Amino acid sequence: MPSKFRAALVSVVMLFCALLPATASAVTSTQRDLNPRYTAQSVPSDELFEEQWSLADDSLLGVQSAWDVTTGGSTVVAVIDTGADLAHPDLRDNLWRNPREIPGNGVDDDGNGFVDDVNGADFVNRDGDPSDDNGHGTHVAGILAARGANRVGVTGVAQRARLMVLKALGADAVGSAETMAEAVRYAVANGAKIINMSVSGPGRSQAFEEAVQAASDAGVLMTVAAGNSGHDLDVAPEYPAAFPASHVIAVAATGRSGKIIGISNRGVGTVDIAAPGQGIVSTAKGGDYEIRTGTSMASPHVAGALVLLSSARPDLGPDALQAALLGSARRGVAVTTGTLDVAGAMRRMVSAARWRSAIRASSVRGTSKSKATRARGRAS
């Protein structure tokens, strides 16, 4: 575990203990077990997975159950934020690569105004290098799609995806409506199927709203943070959460109890769904890991879920994906639908036979494991 992360984790270690229940002890080698137990194989090998409470306890979101169907794929998802650490060992293998750009030749091969925009673009400094100079975007990208099962750090909700990194916020994590609008248009033009925007503000920009509406009209799903002002967006709207585009999905933040946390905005008419956003472990600048809290952390959980749904049913359009996501939410909080249920959404997307087959395959892929591994209750 990286030293900086270990130090940061000390103050919150009690929040993350016992995330995985212990499995039954193995019988002795001299006794034949007539009804052996097997361990699910969907749990990734990432070293900090047990600290990821929103994923490690499958009863909360059902992500592990959804992974029995798919862990992701080649869906292109844009993260519009402060950029990302492009060299991070948990992100670099999941980066989108611009097929129309030749890396490192100093030429704007695709003629879009950005030289060498291989993994995305920087709309703040006007270049093709969307490296993160804040850390917010790196954390968001890891929640969404950190590389899973690589024995390093954490895993994203989608273990496999193509992250298009678009830097529209500066080092202070603040961006203009103009840079946000440009980033949205770039994402649509370059084939993003999903966009995550963990941003919020009270100002309503016509240019930004028009870009979001155009993306929605093009069939792009957009997950956005509800904001951290702790108020009702039905009364005091913030944007882009309150934009009326049909494919904007506004996300509130919950804690481990499933209740909306105090800082999170809410609103049954404006905020669509809630997802984990408190004490979330994810990627940090410099190849490290850290814990953050906010609706910025909740939104990429939903984006990652959409990647899984899209990967399971690439034949379906945005309306079907959105309907499955929102229609499966667990009711009981002050948003339009409820809290994120990834397994419930996946069951709506695939046939009953495919769901049963995936779960059955996971449950019978058990092989002999060391006593130490069994005692910890891990699966790999």
Separation CA 242–CA 362 (nearest Å): 41
Separation CA 222–CA 193 (nearest Å): 9
Q: Are strands 280-284 and 288-292 parallel, antiparallel or unpaired?
A: antiparallel
From 81, 117, 132, 341, the catalytic residue = 81
Our answer to whether residue 131 is catalytic in this structure is no
Three-state SS sequence of the chain? CCHHHHHHHHHHHHHHCCCCCCCCCCCCCCCCCCCCCCCCCCCCCCCCHHHCHHHHCHHHHCHHHHHCCCCEEEEEEEEEECCECCCCCCCHHHECCCCCCCCCCCCCCCCCCCCCCCCEEECCCCECCCECCCCHHHHHHHHHHCCCCCCCCCCCCCCEEEEEEEECCCCCCCCCHHHHHHHHHHHHHCCCCEEEECCCECCCCHHHHHHHHHHHHCCCEEEEECCCCCCECCCCCCECCCCCCCCEEEEEEECCCCCECCCCCECCCCCCEEEECCCEEEEEHHHEEEEECCHHHHHHHHHHHHHHHHHHCCCCCHHHHHHHHHHCCECCCCCCCEECCHHHHHHHHCCHHHHHHHHHHHHCCCCCCCHHHHHHCCCC
From 88, 136, 139, 247, the catalytic residue = 136
Residues 6+ apart with CB under 8 A from 113: none
Our answer to whether residue 296 is catalytic in this structure is yes
Our answer to whether residue 136 is catalytic in this structure is yes
From 65, 198, 200, 296, the catalytic residue = 296
Query: Among residues 109, 31, 70, which one has the least CA distance to residue 355?
Result: 70
Residues 6+ apart with CB under 8 A from 222: 184, 194, 195, 196, 197, 212, 215, 216, 240, 245, 247, 248, 249
Q: For residue 152, give the amino acid letter.
A: V
Residues known to be catalytic: 81, 136, 296
